[in-house]
Amino acid sequence: MDIRIVSTQPFPDQKPGTSGLRKSVPIFQTPHYLENFVQSIFDTIGNPAGQTLVLGGDGRYYNREAIQIILKMAAANGFARVKVGYGGILSTPATSCVIRKYKTVGGIILSASHNPGGPTGDFGVKFNTDNGGPAPEKVTEAIYARSKEIREYKILDAADIDLDHLGESRLGNTVIEVIDSVQDYAALLETLFDFDRIQQLLSRSDFRMCFDAMHAVTGPYAHALLERRLGAPAGTVHNGTPLPDFGGSHPDPNLVYAHDLVEILFGENAPAFGAASDGDGDRNMILGNHFFVTPSDSLAILAANATLVPGYRDGLAGVARSMPTSQAVDRVAAKLGLDCYETPTGWKFFGNLMDAGKVTLCGEESFGTGSNHVREKDGLWAVLFWLNILAVRQQSVADIVREHWQTYGRNYYSRHDYEGIDSDRANTLITNLRAKVGHLAGQSLGRYQVEYADDFSYTDPIDGSVSTQQGVRLGFSDGSRMVFRLSGTGTQGATLRLYLESYEPDPHKQDRDPQVALADLIAIADEVAQIRSLTGMDKPTVIT
């Protein structure tokens, strides 16, 4: 065996963000950059002897090259086996599924999720631990600490592995197993949903659906599940071939970046149901005929209807949402007598709650929903969950959502993103807010009375770990809220996210445009945070 020990210098910037390490492709192509980070992960895992690693990515530019490097490093580090996705493809939820099913030590997912790809786009490395979930903060901190002192890494001198044939081969003493990217995951979803009933729905002449894979990882999964297994007509899946640059767009399933799908669902002769997923397949957007379901409402509706779905027939242990996500699901939990947890942004905070059996469903406002079937958010899972509900209730998406509002009230919700802000200005804005919040409680802002104002801090109820400075939030006496935080997934400048929410119990007032319903709060947010003057931008770059 030709193990090479390569001397290297640490890079100072390998601190994982909300979800993995994300940098531009040219940075990842800098000699030793990827290798240093991967060796830091392996050193943190400890003793790889006898262990299995799962490896795959979303197919973006540099995916295949990075996989070859990581396979040779895994072999040089002494892993017994690596399960790698066919063609280098594994979605984030599928990776989580494979880690859990085969009880492996963890997995590496090559993805920058919703960030654009291509030679000058973004690349990323996420590490998931043996429960199948994103590494918790204590692990990402350890990886980062290791990356700051690393002096060498190990790699095997060997030929590339053929990723386009299923089956086993060897790199040194390590077995490399190219696995079907879809099979294990599809088999798991089949245990949760009523596939027969969904199949009947999809065969009805008056029900058409359309799924936009955005040229990202879910193409092969959606073709296999929706068209081949569940019988949706060929052509139901749009943009189903993963491309290294996602066809030049953001693989981000929201009203702005999934505009082709939005045009179809809001056009003439629109289908009954539409959905899209992101780069690595963990997010989802749900649309009805001329209707958009906010991700926060989607979580609440899945929770309220869970017992209609075989995998959740016996009810939920509890639910959880990230702090900026609307409180719609809290109302469902209250009515059903379920515990409801509020965590910081990022899926890594849900893992402990799920492992401890405290929650079954989790969600984020950023188009992420999931359950304890894996330890990731899961785009196609959410699509099948909705299809299962539609098949049972035989109502339109819009009717289901409106009925939900009548029962629970409507949480008007919107997120305003200000992208590409100068980092210093963004930090000033947040620093100013932090200084201000201590004095805001009890004050009136317009017609709103501030009930509490703080910088969100979370104590994990299972392991007691504390995460501070997770977003400045203002809560008002009528239940309205606003939250300010900086994105932890961007690679250029800073992105300010402003989250806005107000509650409307009156069914006659539930059909307003959210931007109109939230207009006063939007104005107050600008006044409190001086967004326009500090960013120099007069409106957000993305509104969802």
- Interface residues with ligand VG1 (CB under 6 A) are 18-19, 113-114, 278, 282-283, 322, 345-347, 364, 366, 368, 487-489, 497
Nearer to ligand VG1, 455 or 504 (CB): 455
Partner whose binding site includes residue 489, from Co ion, ligand VG1, none (CB under 5 to 8 Å by kind): ligand VG1
Q: Positive or negative CA dihedral for 517, 523, 529, 532?
A: positive
CB of 351 to ligand VG1, least distance (A): 13
Nearest Cα to 95, choosing from 69, 128, 73?
Answer: 128
Nearer to Co ion, 286 or 338 (CB): 286
Partner whose binding site includes residue 488, from ligand VG1, Co ion, none (CB under 5 to 8 Å by kind): ligand VG1
CB of 261 to ligand VG1, least distance (A): 17
**Strand 291-293 relative to strand 273-277, pairing:** unpaired
Partner whose binding site includes residue 346, from ligand VG1, Co ion, none (CB under 5 to 8 Å by kind): ligand VG1
Using CA atoms, how far residue 229 sits from 196, 199, 241, 337, 382, in Å, is 10, 8, 18, 36, 17
Whether the Cβ atoms of residue 396 and residue 270 lie closer than 8 Å to each other: no
Q: By CB under 5 A, how many residues form the interface with Co ion?
A: 4
365 binds Co ion (CB under 5 A): no
Partner whose binding site includes residue 473, from Co ion, ligand VG1, none (CB under 5 to 8 Å by kind): none
Query: How many Å apart are CA 286 and CA 295, to the nearest integer?
Result: 8
Q: Which of 122, 282, 376, 417 binds Co ion (CB under 5 A)?
A: 282
Query: How many Å apart are CA 223 and CA 238, to the nearest integer?
Result: 9
Q: What is the DSSP-derived secondary structure letter of residue 17? A: B
495 binds Co ion (CB under 5 A): no
CB of 115 to ligand VG1, least distance (A): 8
Query: How many Å apart are CA 299 and CA 329, to the nearest integer?
Result: 6
Nearer to ligand VG1, 174 or 277 (CB): 277
Burial status of residue 208 (CB atoms within 10 A of its CB: 0-12, 13-18, 19 or more): middle
- Give me 25's structure tokens: 């492709």
Residue nearest to Co ion according to CB distances in the complex? 113
Query: How many Å apart are CA 410 and CA 401, to the nearest integer?
Result: 9
What letter represents residue 67's amino acid? I
Using CB under 5 A as the binding rule, the residues of this chain from 241 to 280 that contact Co ion are 278, 280
Whether the Cβ atoms of residue 321 and residue 104 lie closer than 8 Å to each other: no
Whether the Cβ atoms of residue 475 and residue 449 lie closer than 8 Å to each other: no
Q: Which of 40, 111, 113, 298 is catalytic?
A: 113
DSSP 208-257: -EEEE-TTSTHHHHHIIIIIIIT-PPTTSEES-S--TTGGGS----STTT
Nearer to Co ion, 35 or 280 (CB): 280
Whether the Cβ atoms of residue 211 and residue 236 lie closer than 8 Å to each other: yes
- Give me 289's structure tokens: 């005929």
Partner whose binding site includes residue 254, from ligand VG1, Co ion, none (CB under 5 to 8 Å by kind): none
Per-residue x/- marks for Co ion, 100-119, CB under 5 A? -------------x------
CB of 199 to ligand VG1, least distance (A): 29
CA atoms within 13 A on the CB side of 269: 0
CB of 337 to ligand VG1, least distance (A): 27
- Determine whether 181 is an active site residue: no
Burial 175-191 (b: 16+ CB within 10 A, else e): ebbbbebbebbbebbee
CB of 276 to ligand VG1, least distance (A): 13
CB of 350 to ligand VG1, least distance (A): 10
Nearer to Co ion, 118 or 281 (CB): 281
Partner whose binding site includes residue 194, from Co ion, ligand VG1, none (CB under 5 to 8 Å by kind): none
Partner whose binding site includes residue 284, from ligand VG1, Co ion, none (CB under 5 to 8 Å by kind): none
Query: How many Å apart are CA 254 and CA 294, to the nearest integer?
Result: 10
Nearer to Co ion, 42 or 381 (CB): 381
Nearer to Co ion, 282 or 365 (CB): 282
Show which residues are catalytic: 113
Contacts to Co ion by CB under 5 A: 113, 278, 280, 282
